[in-house]
Amino acid sequence: MKRPRSLPVQIFLALLAGVAVGLLCFFLPGGGDFAAGYLKPFGDIFVNLLKFIVVPVVLFSMIQGILSMEDMRKVGSVGLKTVLYFLCTTAIACTVGLAMGSIFDRAGLFPVLDAADTDYEIAAFGGFMTTLVGIFPSNMWQAFTNANMLQVIVIALFFGGAILTAGEKGRLCHEIVFSFYAVIEKLMTFIIRLSPIGVFAYMAWVVATQGAQVLGSLALVLLCAYIAYVVHAVLVYSSAARVFGKLRPFTFFRKAIPAMIFGFTSASSAATLPVSKECAEDMGADPDVSSFVLPLGATINMDGTAIYQCVATVFLASCAGIDLTLRQMVLVVITATLASVGTAGVSGAGMIMLAMVLEAIQIPVAYIGLIIAVDRLFDMGRTCLNVVGDISCAVCVSRWEGRKQP
Ligand code: ASP
């Protein structure tokens, strides 16, 4: 797909303009209300447009990826490599998050806040088996209307496999999928062209309304999470890009900038999917592989979310006066890896899943109330990292499959 050359530059300029206007609103009386009432809605319109195509993008992109691979064994091989890559990088992300959180905690940098006044509603988890059953849809249309992405992925896998094995009789479905996907790609191009407006509006709103929080007591917890995000990106994605993707880390990150800015401002991996796809293919990822890996990644691969959950757990444990033992830390790594897999690629989802990690080590879930106010700021960074993780996987798997043309 052809992208206008200047779009990344436009997105970057929109980000800067958003920060400038946001600062102006922050310091002017009534500026915050203006940003929330008149700027944010333009960002919302843009994200709504992206969200409305997310279900068809994931569905047709995955089916088309499967059909292009032409062989279920190939699909299995790409799928296995993808899931292994996701699990390994997420487990490393948890370790980085825990280590960074512990360093800050030991150094006495985390504030100790009182959770007495928080009234965070506890989300109910049905347990592992119920979650597993819930991945398999009993009603296809419900999966689409609820945008239940794990179910949409299962539907795509089944349909893709069935069309492939139906052979000549499935020819018409095969062509319909390719034709639909071509139309959806066009739609994505139109919508992505509007992205500078969305980036500007969201950035101005965040700076205008949350600037005060950055200066508040949670600044060091935010700083801890952002250092961990950067450490993980530099350690894991740079090495993966160089060793497996045969790309210079600088080139990798430069080409990922549009998706990074987009993930950062929209706080939704699912909404960033069309941009991630363009970036991955710009780095030479094979379109068949990226069509399969990226929708899966935007749904189950959340390294930034895993880091956030670990840092938040160490911080909230310290507020609760709990010193994490080694056993509890291992439990945090396991549950945060699973919780991040279960996190939907939409804004705020990672904070809800944090409850699962806290429950595992018996910290009252109400403690989440202490960090709700700044969740958007954590979320922007973690989503940015989530989408880079997906892109790095698409590049590496393309290379492993020997289909990449750098
Ligand atoms: N907003 C994140 C994403 O879309 C998920 C989260 O809340 O952690 O990737």
Q: How far is the CA of 171 from the centre of ligand 1 (A)?
A: 37
DSSP state of 28: S
CATH code: domain of residue 303: 1.10.3860.10
- Would you say residue 280 lies in a domain? yes
The pLDDT score that the predictor gives to residue 72 is 82
Q: Which of 379, 361, 365 is nearest to 119 (CA)?
A: 365
> How far is 159 from 171, CA to CA, in rounded Å?
13
Question: What atom of ligand 1 comes closest to residue 305's alpha carbon?
Answer: 8
- Would you say residue 330 lies in a domain? yes
- What is the DSSP secondary-structure string of 201-223? HHHHHHHHHHHHHHHSTTHHHHH
308, with CB counted inside 10 A (0-12, 13-18, 19+), is buried
Q: Which of 180, 401, 406, 139 is nearest to 293 (CA)?
A: 401
Q: Give, for ligand 1, the residue of 50, 54, 150, 302 to mutate: max count of ligand atoms closer than 8 Å to Cβ.
A: 302
Q: Is the beta carbon of 256 within 6 A of some atom in ligand 1?
A: no
The pLDDT score that the predictor gives to residue 385 is 97
Q: How far is the CA of 378 from the centre of ligand 1 (A)?
A: 10
Q: With left for phi above 0 and alpha for psi between -120 and 50, is residue 74 left, alpha or beta?
A: alpha
- Would you say residue 1 lies in a domain? no
Chain-centre distance of CA 268, in angstroms? 6
CA gyration radius, the chain: 21
DSSP state of 168: G
CB atoms within 10 A of CB 103: 14
Q: Provide the sign of the torsion angle of the four alpha carbons 71, 76, 79, 85, taken in this order.
A: negative
Q: How far is the CA of 353 from the centre of ligand 1 (A)?
A: 10
Q: Give, for ligand 1, the residue of 347, 353, 384 to mutate: max count of ligand atoms closer than 8 Å to Cβ.
A: 347
Contact 282, 192 (CB under 8 A): no
Q: Which amino acid is at 124?
A: A
pLDDT tens per residue across all 406 residues of the chain: 554 556 778 888 888 898 899 989 988 988 889 998 999 999 889 878 877 887 888 898 889 888 988 888 888 889 999 999 999 999 999 999 999 999 999 998 888 777 665 555 555 556 667 777 888 999 999 999 988 888 888 999 999 999 999 989 999 999 999 999 889 888 888 887 888 898 899 889 888 887 666 556 788 899 999 999 999 999 999 999 999 988 999 999 999 999 999 899 888 898 888 889 989 999 999 988 998 999 999 988 999 999 999 999 999 998 888 888 888 899 899 989 988 887 877 788 888 888 888 888 888 888 888 887 788 889 999 999 999 999 999 999 999 987 444 4
The domain containing residue 123 runs over which residues? Answer: 7-404
pLDDT digits (tens, 9 = 90+) for 76-89: 889 999 999 999 99
> How far is 379 from 381, CA to CA, in rounded Å?
5
Joined tokens for residue 180: 């639909």
Q: Give, for ligand 1, the residue of 340, 346, 378 to mutate: max count of ligand atoms closer than 8 Å to Cβ.
A: 346
The pLDDT score that the predictor gives to residue 113 is 74
Instruction: Please count the residues of the chain.
Output: 406
- Would you say residue 2 lies in a domain? no
Q: How far is the CA of 305 from the centre of ligand 1 (A)?
A: 6
Contact 314, 324 (CB under 8 A): yes
- 125 Cβ contact partners less than 8 Å away, ≥ 6 residues apart: 131, 355, 356, 359
Q: Is the beta carbon of 345 within 6 A of some atom in ligand 1?
A: yes
Q: Is the beta carbon of 273 within 6 A of some atom in ligand 1?
A: no
Q: Which amino acid is at 398?
A: S
- Would you say residue 300 lies in a domain? yes
Q: Give, for ligand 1, the residue of 386, 390, 391 to mutate: max count of ligand atoms closer than 8 Å to Cβ.
A: 386
Q: How far is the CA of 147 from the centre of ligand 1 (A)?
A: 15
> How far is 118 from 316, CA to CA, in rounded Å?
13
Contact 310, 353 (CB under 8 A): no
> How far is 371 from 100, CA to CA, in rounded Å?
18
Distances (CA, A) of 186 to 26, 190, 258, 285: 38, 6, 18, 20
Give, rounded to a whole angstrom, the gap between the first and last alpha carbons of the chain: 16
Split into its structural domains, the chain has a count of 1
The pLDDT score that the predictor gives to residue 279 is 93
Name the residue with the closest Cα to ligand 1, atom 8: 350
Joined tokens for residue 126: 């049905």
Find the largest Cα–Cα distance for the chain. 67
Q: How far is the CA of 65 from the centre of ligand 1 (A)?
A: 24
> How far is 146 from 134, CA to CA, in rounded Å?
13
The pLDDT score that the predictor gives to residue 117 is 58
- Would you say residue 245 lies in a domain? yes
Q: Give, for ligand 1, the residue of 206, 268, 308 to mutate: max count of ligand atoms closer than 8 Å to Cβ.
A: 268
The pLDDT score that the predictor gives to residue 212 is 65
- Would you say residue 371 lies in a domain? yes
Q: How far is the CA of 29 from the centre of ligand 1 (A)?
A: 32
Task: Give the CA count within 13 Å in the CB-facing half-sphere of 165.
Answer: 9
Q: Is the beta carbon of 389 within 6 A of some atom in ligand 1?
A: no
- Would you say residue 159 lies in a domain? yes
Q: Is the beta carbon of 349 within 6 A of some atom in ligand 1?
A: yes
Q: What is the pTM of this model?
A: 0.84
Task: Give the CA count within 13 Å in the CB-facing half-sphere of 180.
Answer: 17
346, with CB counted inside 10 A (0-12, 13-18, 19+), is buried
The pLDDT score that the predictor gives to residue 141 is 94
Name the residue with the closest Cα to ligand 1, atom 6: 350
Joined tokens for residue 157: 């896998």
